[in-house]
Structure 1
Amino acid sequence: MAQKTDSLTVAVGGIGFEIFVPRMFGRKGEDLRVYTYLYVRENEISLYGFESEADRNLFLELQNVTGVGPKLSLSILGTLTTEQFAAAIIAADYDTLTSVKGLGKKGASRLVVELRDKLAARQGIAAGSTELPPAVDVDGKRAEVLDALRVLGFTEREAGARLQASYDSELSLEENVRAALRKSD
């Protein structure tokens, strides 16, 4: 593995693949897990790599926002952690968002408008709420509970509200789903 400031080259079966990364991770010679995304456009094929699935998922989510491409997405992930970005979007913290190189006030506003409700629901905050996430979903358990509620027929907004009202990090996935089902609107 060779490292540059914005990419790493991984040798697989004698072929070196350049993978663009938001920030460096791992050391030369050590085993490394890289979560990748192959970006294919008419004039470009690029490989993007991430230290965690959460980073890759946020990168993919950002690709759906008007005016945000892979370079700006990498800049966001290189400046803010996934949790910091989610908190900044939910709180509409434009100072934090505009600290990202290449992201101005207009772009930050577009991100808030397009992502706020989605990210808030994943954190178990009712859509449109101004409160900050009660806890960072480090292990992904909140997201699993939210997914289970959606599978059971709840909208993202309903599932987010139930999750916010009932989630307990000490409970198992099943216990949290049961607790959310017991909550009434």
Structure 2
Amino acid sequence: MFHLIKRDVILQKKQLLIFIPFILFFIFMDVHPVLTFLVASVFIPFNTYAYDEKAETNILLNSLPYTRKEIIASRYLGAIFYMSIAIVLTSAALFVFGKLFSLSDIAIGSGLFLLFAACTFPLFYILKPGYITTAVIIGFIVLSAMGPPVVLYLAEQFSGITDFIMNLSIPIVYTGSTVLIMLLYLLSWGLSTAIYQRKVF
């Protein structure tokens, strides 16, 4: 399984050369650190999916001595691994250029990435190749633009729930959010595995 994760790095080595300039662009544009961490985390995993979609790599992967469960596991574990690397590099870049950020920014950015990944990874095994990357990019842009206003609107409409959450201690909020996001991520992992097991290439 480690070799499958390593394969993604090899395939994306050219893309990795533009990773730092890509992140620096967001930093110089004074984009909020949360969005910067989110975009950085998305970069490698979704580039890999986009490459595999064009090259129809699933046929090759299924000819290798790996089970389909291992192939899916490498995707989900690899996403967490690359997210961790992206966070370290982005944090270093923000620090070097004197941009303020907090652990909360990292936590929220990471949580949003895992949530977005949980929602979109199964699409790569459901939708027809050729449309998936476009759908994911559009979804990401829409969520980035519409997400905050929608959250604020819902917070106003469901003030009782909002007040309840606001009265909770910060550790409880972060712990609860982490558990919920990881649960959704695991459910997504299971769904992708179930779909991929039945898929014919």
TM-score, normalised by the number of residues in structure 1: 0.27
- Richer in helix (by share): 2
TM-score scaled by length of structure 2 = 0.25
Select the structure with the greater relative contact order (CA < 8 A; seq sep ≥ 6): 2
